[in-house]
């Protein structure tokens, strides 16, 4: 069962996850982080940046793999996930740029980009801690409903709903690419620790489907039931549709603190 941690808000969740990442890097200086984009993980990166400024830690060997990328945005487009990861993670945390990879969304490279990316993740020894957000459709990465549980990095078609949700980052909704390249659900399941964050009422239904099932490809988030180490960090609003919320609170309140998340 996923561990569910209910936090007071996005910044408390960010602090909690940033501490876990910091502990990981302290014990494994070449840790491999799985990086999500979108709004949800920003407080994690911001909190980690503050913590690294106040109490420096060598991050020069930390490696990272982003979950996904839009297909066909021109190089350097400010909303390409390459640009976002460079700005919001690599530069903010002071990581070595060459240590952080993003799937290649160049249309000319797509036939082999997925396999290349999988090979790179395997060569790095796999992802230690994978940060995840969740879409209102229940997508993890950009694995929209119906995605295979066994899928690896490949091209997918974004749903109109996800394109609408992400239009806030673009000048016009029609500028949001139709296609993306995303780690598969099978890729995500190989990471050693999944940390899924969600805030807000609009995520409550997707969170409930992810945490409490049923396990179905129609709700990609439900794959977390197949993973032995998952932490779901949610605010009250995102937790509001969970049937067993009282039990999750009780379990977390009674957890030995040395276990971390």
Q: Which is nearer to ligand F6R, 99 or 162 (CB)?
A: 162
**Residue 14 binding ligand F6R, by CB under 6 A:** no
Closest of 18, 84, 93, 6 to residue 49, by C-alpha: 93
**Residue 40 binding ligand F6R, by CB under 6 A:** yes
Q: What dihedral angle (degrees, nearest 10) is formed by the CA atoms of 213, 219, 224, 227?
A: 100
How many amino acids of this chain bind ligand F6R (CB under 6 A)?
14
Give the integer Cα–Cα distance in Å for 30 and 227.
Answer: 23
Closest of 136, 220, 157, 159 to residue 186, by C-alpha: 220
Contact (CB, 8 A) for 17 and 197:
yes
Closest of 198, 146, 194, 245 to residue 20, by C-alpha: 194
Helices (H) and strands (E) in the chain, counts: 10, 10
Identified binder of ligand F6R from the candidate list 5, 37, 63, 153, rule CB under 6 A: 37
Q: Which is nearer to ligand F6R, 32 or 140 (CB)?
A: 140
Q: Which is nearer to ligand F6R, 39 or 218 (CB)?
A: 39
**Residue 47 binding ligand F6R, by CB under 6 A:** no
Q: Is the peptide bond before 214 cis (omega within 30 degrees of 0)?
A: yes
Identified binder of ligand F6R from the candidate list 6, 16, 24, 36, rule CB under 6 A: 36
**Residue 135 binding ligand F6R, by CB under 6 A:** yes
**Residue 151 binding ligand F6R, by CB under 6 A:** no
Q: Which is nearer to ligand F6R, 161 or 244 (CB)?
A: 161
Which tokens in the block code for residue 119?
Answer: 């090979």
Q: Enumerate residues 68-97 that contact ligand F6R by CB under 6 A.
A: 68
Q: Which is nearer to ligand F6R, 81 or 248 (CB)?
A: 81
Residues at the interface with ligand F6R (CB under 6 A):
36-40, 67-68, 133-135, 139-142
């Amino acid at each position: 069962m996923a561990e569910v941690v209910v936090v007071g808000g996005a910044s408390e969740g960010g602090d909690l996850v940033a501490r876990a990442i910091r502990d990981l890097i302290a014990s494994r200086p070449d840790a491999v982080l799985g990086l999500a984009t979108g709004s949800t993980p920003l407080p994690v990166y911001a909190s980690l940046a503050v913590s690294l400024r106040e109490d420096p830690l060598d991050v020069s060997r930390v490696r990272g793999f982003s979950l996904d990328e839009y297909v066909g945005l021109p190089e350097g487009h400010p909303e390409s996930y390459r640009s976002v990861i460079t700005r919001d993670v690599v530069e903010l945390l002071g990581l070595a740029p060459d240590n952080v990879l993003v799937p290649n969304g160049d249309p000319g490279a797509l036939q082999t980009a997925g396999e290349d990316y999988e090979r790179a993740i395997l060569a790095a020894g796999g992802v230690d801690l994978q940060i995840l957000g969740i879409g209102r459709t229940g997508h993890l990465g950009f694995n929209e409903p119906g995605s295979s549980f066994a899928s690896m990095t490949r091209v997918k078609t974004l749903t109109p709903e996800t394109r609408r949700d992400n239009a806030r980052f673009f000048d016009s909704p029609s500028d949001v690419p139709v296609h993306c390249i995303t780690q598969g659900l099978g890729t995500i399941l190989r990471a050693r620790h999944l940390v899924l964050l969600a805030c807000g009422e609009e995520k409550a239904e997707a969170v409930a489907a992810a945490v409490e099932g049923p396990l179905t490809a129609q709700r990609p988030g439900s794959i977390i039931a197949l993973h032995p180490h998952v932490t779901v960090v949610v605010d009250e609003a995102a937790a509001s549709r969970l049937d067993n919320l009282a039990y999750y609170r009780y379990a977390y309140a009674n957890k030995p603190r040395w276990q971390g998340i």
